[in-house]
Chains A and B, each alone.
Chain A
């Protein structure tokens, strides 16, 4: 079975500072990995995804993530935080052979301080 662990349920950064949100996964086969963002009272929006190929994936709003098989990690980064980045972020893994059936982590709430 797949699982996702997001380290840190709350992360605070100053505006302009590096954003690093951690995600580790467990999967018996090479997984597909996703990061979603959820703004208050909104649905989930896809930030980026890794399926195959290049392990460094670039997404929307300046975010990127790197798939590291040896570390079973898929951490999300952004060089410079903006106030509008404040939201909850979810890492997810796709069940192999499923049709985009996602297993989500518990989420990380990002606060950006002025």
Chain B
């Protein structure tokens, strides 16, 4: 069974630029999560989708971050414009349904300079 796929693996951008990350969850998984992991900290949930609807985006900085999951499968997370403090690993995870184990992708490491 293929795991959660994320791309790109690494990205370096200058502050005030825009960036987008892509996630392809495990086939058939209805629930998708985006987490932000800053160096030296644990992951922090940014947004949770159930199919193509948002369950919780209370910790998503909506002035610069956006996420979508239009067809209930792939998802993209966008930052516009990026700040230095956005440097982190962005992890995508998926689960078959809301109360089952979540499987994590390898993450996208973003460096903002």
Flag whether B40 is at the interface (Cβ < 8 A): yes
Chain A binder among B12-20, B60-68, B73-81, B92-100: B92-100
Q: In the complex, which residue of chain B has the Cβ closest to the Cβ of A49?
A: B101
Flag whether A107 is at the interface (Cβ < 8 A): yes
Flag whether A114 is at the interface (Cβ < 8 A): no
Is the beta-carbon distance between A107 and B42 smaller than 8 angstroms?
A: yes
Contact of B56 among A43, A45, A98, A103 (CB under 8 A): A98
Q: Within the complex, what minimum Cβ distance (angstroms) separates B35 from chain A?
A: 8
Flag whether B25 is at the interface (Cβ < 8 A): no
Q: Within the complex, what minimum Cβ distance (angstroms) separates A97 from chain B?
A: 11
The docked-state distance in angstroms from the alpha carbon of A103 to that of B102 is 13
The docked-state distance in angstroms from the alpha carbon of A103 to that of B93 is 14
Q: Within the complex, what minimum Cβ distance (angstroms) separates B5 from chain A?
A: 11
Q: In the complex, which residue of chain B has the Cβ closest to the Cβ of A107?
A: B42
Flag whether B91 is at the interface (Cβ < 8 A): yes
The docked-state distance in angstroms from the alpha carbon of A104 to that of B41 is 8
Flag whether B4 is at the interface (Cβ < 8 A): yes
Is the beta-carbon distance between A107 and B99 smaller than 8 angstroms?
A: no
The docked-state distance in angstroms from the alpha carbon of A103 to that of B48 is 13
Q: A45 contacts which chain B residues (CB < 8 A)?
A: 104
Q: In the complex, which residue of chain A has the Cβ closest to the Cβ of B10?
A: A41
Is the beta-carbon distance between B101 and A104 smaller than 8 angstroms?
A: no
Q: Within the complex, what minimum Cβ distance (angstroms) separates A106 from chain B?
A: 5
Contact of B91 among A9, A44, A92 (CB under 8 A): A44
- Which residue numbers of A lie inside 8 Å of B, CB to CB? 4, 9, 41-46, 49, 90, 92, 98-107
The 3 closest A-B pairs by CB, nearest first: A104-B42, A99-B98, A43-B104
